Each structure stands twice: as C-alpha cells, then as structure tokens.
Structure 1
Amino acid sequence: MNKKSIAAFAVECAVSAPRLRRAAGMAAVLSALISVPAFAGQTTTSASANATSQDQSPNVPATKREIRVEHRTPQYWRVTFDNPPFNIFGPETIPQLNEVITAIETDPNVRVVVFDSAVPGFFLTHYDFVAPLSASTELASGRTGLHPLPDMLVRLSRAPVVSISLIRGRATGVGSELALASDMRFASREKAILSQWEVGAALVPGGGPMARLPRLMGRGRALEVLLGSDDIDGDLADKYGYVNRSLPDDELDGFVEALASRVSKFDKQAIADTKRLVDFASLPSDPEIGAGWDAFITSVQRPQAQANISKLMQMGLQTDNEIESKLGHYTATLAGQ
C-alpha cells in the first residue's frame, strides 16, 4: 500500500461511523508518519529474567512481554511496566494490558492493584509512532465500544478494585492517562514527571485527560497542564491535585506498600460499593471520553501535527534519552522551526 492509499484509508475511517473512527485512531497516527523510517535503536519488547514464581504475566510470547503481574497476596497485586528503554506504549502492549484489566475486573479475590515501573526514569510514556500500520487497524473496539486504549482506561476506573499508580519517572501521554484513570496517584517528589505533551506537537490528547483533569484540579489548572504541554514535577503535581500527594523518593515505596496492604485486608464488597458510589459523582461518561478520542483522530491527520511528529522523530523521539527525558522542552522548540 503506497503513502497516498494509506492516508486515504485513514481519512475514510475517520469520517465513518464512530466505532470505525475509534478503531482507526492509531491508523491515522501511523499514516501521518509513514514517511518516517523506523529507528534501529528502538526497543519494543522486553522480558524480565528475574520474575518470581508468583508472576502471572499476560499469555503472550516471552520476547513480547512488557507487563508483569505479581500476586503479592491473593488480595494485592503489583502490575509492573517493563519495556526498556522508555516504557513506550504500543499496539503490542494493548492485548497485554487488556488481559490484566480483565483479570482485575473478574478475579474474586483481588482488592488492590498497584501500577509501577521497572524502567529507571520512566513510569509509562507515549504511544509507539513507528509500529506497523496493521497492528493498530486490526484492533477491535473494546467492551465499551471505544477504541481499546480508552476502553481499558474506562474499565480500570470502574473496576470493583482499588487501583493505585506509583509514579517514579516520566508519566507522559498514555502514562499520565493511565495514572488519571487510576483511583489514586502517588508520586516521587524528586523523580516524578507528569505531562500531557500532545498540544505541543499539534495533537489532541486521546486518553481522556480533558474529561478527567478538570474534575481533579479545576478548569484553569487543567488548561494550564493541557495547553502548556510542559513537564509537571512531583511538588507541583501535588499542589495542583494531579496526584494525591508527592513524597520523598525514599519514602514513596513504603507509603504505597503500607496503604495497599492495609486496604487489601478490608472487605471486598464494602470496597466495591463505596468506590461505585464515589464513581457516580466523579467519573466522566463514555461520550466524554469518546469525544476526546475522536478529536485525537482528527488532529493526527492535520499537516501541522504530521510535520511536528516527523521533526520529533528526526530529533530522536523513541531513540534518544535526551529527547524522551525532556519532551516538554523539545516540543516547545517546534514552534520556532
């Protein structure tokens, strides 16, 4: 398929019925970037050699394993992102995370799940922009009718289980959106960075932050985060309500462990009922999340977004630690080019 036909396919999908538009979201991203070559330094697969015998990782080939699940007790799980060097989230991550979310929804014992990272400096970052086109276009909509990525985030928020994001390193794009979909977020004061970087690259965020952030921090601060597209450190994230609280890095693990262990001992039905009632007052509706995803699909087809992502890829997005670690800085440089 040539460049013209791929782009035409993406446009056709984007103007079709809502479900088709959502399923074609990543196709539009990849169509926009089809002229950008894959980088030899990109790493998209990882497996942990020292996983414990308790690990219940998704049923995928070991060379593709990016997520590990440790059952610390039947009631308390750790979900660890392990896709070095940057914990980039790609099409191959989606079925793995979906399997984890499904287990969280259906396991009769689990009460608390903590999301963390095994990759120094990165909690979870943005979508993989050089994945094969078919890897995204072949994805079916999720249970909610949304594209699988926002579908999983919606389901996580509504699961009858307490979800906690332990943020050490960068939570950028998808990483920020997963943290926002979690019930609680705790960040390293010295090492956490959160951001929604998309507007800086002429994109619209697709994983629901426009619906979630105003509920957490108010309209003005939400717009500052979204439109400023800059890095938010642990202290400011705490002040703004982006996270529950930031803690000194050497206290973060102990605090989260103690809280998760404590809650895991409580009655599951009481946890689920209490969370469900809080959800009524606090969670965005599916149409709100879907509108954001549709706006994302539209944005990736615009020439400015295509040009900006291409420039970032040429700078070293997904291959250069300097670019990934200072993405807020480098998106700001695009305006002057």
Structure 2
Amino acid sequence: MNHHFLARTILAVGVALAMPTWAQQVPSNVAPRSASDADGQVRLTRVTPEYWRVTFHNPPYNIFGPVTIPQLNKIVSEIETDPRVRVVVFESDVPDFFLTHYDFVPPLTDTTGLPRGATGLPPLPDMLVRISKAPVVSIAMIRGRATGVGSELSLASDMRFASREKAVLSQWEIGAGLVPGGGPMSRLPRLMGRGRALEVLLTGNDIDGPTAERYGYVNRALPDAELDAFVDTMARRIARFDKQAIADIKRIVDESSLPSNEQIGAEWDGFIGSVQRAAAQRRVKQLMELGLQVKPDVEKRLPVYTGSLGGAD
C-alpha cells in the first residue's frame, strides 16, 4: 500500500473519531440549518444533448454538505461519460447564493466516511479535479455568493462569468481558523499571481464582480441583466463544435495550467488538519452562536462576522 495514502487515511480516521460536531456545542435555542436534510440539491437539465445545465438548489443559502457530494458526483460521472455533451453550465436558482461553504452541522464522519473517488482523492477534491479534466467545457455562471466550496467549484471550472452587481467570491476560511480544502491555494496563484492570491486567502474578504474580473478570479463580470444571455450564447456556440477537438484542446491546455492531483490533495489534508485544532473549533462555535447557517445577515456578511470574533488564538 502507498505509504502517503495510508498516512492520509489514518489521519482522516483519527480526526473523524476525535472531532466533535460543532452544532452540538451551540446553545439549544440555536438551530443551525443543515445541508444534509434535503435531496435534489443538484439538478441536471439537458438543454440539448450537447449542452447541459447543473443547478444548485438548496435554499435558503446553498450550503454544501456530505449529502450534496454523491448528488454532484453522479452528475460529474455523467458529464465524463456521455458521448454527446460538449458544454455544461453551473448555476444557482437560490437568490443571493451561488454555492457557499461546507456544512458544519453533520459530524465530520459523514464526510470522512465517504469513499475516495476515481482519482484516489477524497470525494470533494476528486470531483473538482474531474470537472477540470473532463473532455467537456465547464462554465460557472456566478450570481450571488460563491464562498468556500462555491469559489472552489468556480475555480475548477474552465471559465467563470460573474454578475457585476450580484456576484461575491471569497475564500472565507482563514476567519474561522480553517485551511481551504478544495484547491484554491493551487489554482488562484495561476490565475491572479501570488500577491493577489494571498490577499484573497489571508484576508477572507469578499471580492465583488468588478474586482474579481480585474484580478483574474473570473473571465468577465457582466451587467446582471446581460449575464444569462451571454453565457447561454457562448454555451450554444461551443456545443456546436467537434467534441474531440474540444477534448484535445482542453487536455493540452490542462498540461501547462492545472495543478497536480497531489497539490490538490495536500490542500484537503490541510483542511482536515485544521478542523481538529481547538482554535478552529472555537471560532466555528462562535460563528454558529452568532447565527451561521441560520441568519441571512451572517451568511451574507461573513467577513464582518469573522472579523468580530474575540481574541487572537
């Protein structure tokens, strides 16, 4: 057995056994909303055989949890294996939220107990790597908050187009004492350079649509009224092209632009390591007491609330 794989497996199991459920630590009058209590969180629409749309639907905040993972994985597998599909657009039908952070209500064992994916990586980084490398063009159409997992899925997509007025991107994890686990440390420097990547990762601040465009976080930020038509027109154009040519172009571009699977896997290890630290447990508990996964204001203004947490750790 590969010793690195064995060490990572032991770490994940050890953390799963030791890690409490944050939701159980908050006062009984607080009822955090879990992403794990809903089916149909990821919906597939075949606009044409060549052009698909994947819609995130987990109102009110589009929180991503362990039950979301197999739903998304099923669709990613279909994208990889369908012989006709050429382009897929990721979108949301939840107002103000594209896709947000990981769910802190279920026990960590609900996540660490899931089987590894086809790449050998844990499920979330596995799916993000497979989206990047699929022989299909992936486009993230960002309207609302793309926070944490939402940012990471957008970065894994081949292109990102954002609403100038309504898109907000962030890697918020530093404010909770966490290390992001879905690949932004490897992907962001390739898009925007080291300094700007560190600004995003080490401040946890929101990045609006125009700034995201200027930094290279997204391809373009368009007026909200124009976003849908722009993305639809581009997707339909790509859907008319030869699938093998699309696959070959992507494969060659990927060779010089994507991080390795090992780099992405190391970020997940960093996340798993961070969640067992007392500082992270304390900060997430404070956020949940303030209303994380419950109050709209907390979900919409995470940097304000993470910046209000007491004391250095």
Q: Shorter-chain TM-score: what band?
A: over 0.9
Distance apart, 1:262 and its partner CA: 0.3
Q: Is the 8 A contact 2:147 2:170 kept in 1?
A: yes
Please give the secondary structure, in 1, of the residue aligned with 2:141: strand
In structure 2, the residue matched to 1:89 is 64
Q: Is the 8 A contact 2:159 2:219 kept in 1?
A: yes
CA distance in 1, matches of 2:133, 2:16: 25
Whichever residue aligns with residue 153 of structure 1, its letter is L
In structure 1, the residue matched to 2:125 is 150
1:283-327 CA distances to partner (integer Å, 9 max, x unpaired)?
Answer: 000111111111111111111111100000000000100000001
Q: Is the 8 A contact 1:113 1:162 kept in 2?
A: yes
| Count of residue pairs brought into register by the alignment | 308
Distance apart, 1:19 and its partner CA: 3.5
Whichever residue aligns with residue 17 of structure 1, its letter is A
Which one of the candidate residues 243, 256, 277 is aligned to 1:268? 243
Distance apart, 1:137 and its partner CA: 3.4
Please give the secondary structure, in 2, of the residue aligned with 1:299: helix
Q: Say what the alpha-carbon RMSD is for the aligned residues.
A: 2.1
Q: What is the TM-score of this pair, normalised by structure 2?
A: 0.93
Residues 27, 80 of structure 1: alpha-carbon distance in 2 compared, 3 angstrom cutoff: farther
Distance apart, 1:26 and its partner CA: 6.9
Distance apart, 1:135 and its partner CA: 2.1
Q: Is the 8 A contact 1:43 1:85 kept in 2?
A: no
Percent sequence identity is: 62
In structure 2, the residue matched to 1:207 is 182
Residue 241 (structure 2) pairs with residue 257 (structure 1): no
Distance apart, 1:95 and its partner CA: 0.2
Residue 26 (structure 2) pairs with residue 18 (structure 1): no
Residues 41, 310 of structure 1: alpha-carbon distance in 2 compared, 3 angstrom cutoff: closer
Residues 225, 322 of structure 1: alpha-carbon distance in 2 compared, 3 angstrom cutoff: same
Which one of the candidate residues 288, 294, 314 is aligned to 2:289? 314
Distance apart, 1:328 and its partner CA: 1.3
Distance apart, 1:138 and its partner CA: 2.2
In structure 2, the residue matched to 1:44 is 35
In structure 2, the residue matched to 1:228 is 203
Residue 102 (structure 2) pairs with residue 111 (structure 1): no
CA distance in 1, matches of 2:211, 2:184: 17
Structure 1 residue runs without a partner (length 5+): 1-14, 47-62
Residue 98 (structure 2) pairs with residue 123 (structure 1): yes
CA distance in 2, matches of 1:295, 1:282: 22
Residues 192, 285 of structure 1: alpha-carbon distance in 2 compared, 3 angstrom cutoff: same
CA distance in 2, matches of 1:286, 1:35: 35
Distance apart, 1:30 and its partner CA: 5.0
Distance apart, 1:181 and its partner CA: 0.2
Whichever residue aligns with residue 81 of structure 2, its letter is T
Q: Is the 8 A contact 1:33 1:309 kept in 2?
A: no
1:185-218 CA distances to partner (integer Å, 9 max, x unpaired)?
Answer: 0000000000000011111100010000000000
Distance apart, 1:36 and its partner CA: 3.3
Residues 129, 108 of structure 1: alpha-carbon distance in 2 compared, 3 angstrom cutoff: same
Please give the secondary structure, in 1, of the residue aligned with 2:145: strand
CA distance in 2, matches of 1:156, 1:115: 11
Residues 82, 26 of structure 1: alpha-carbon distance in 2 compared, 3 angstrom cutoff: farther
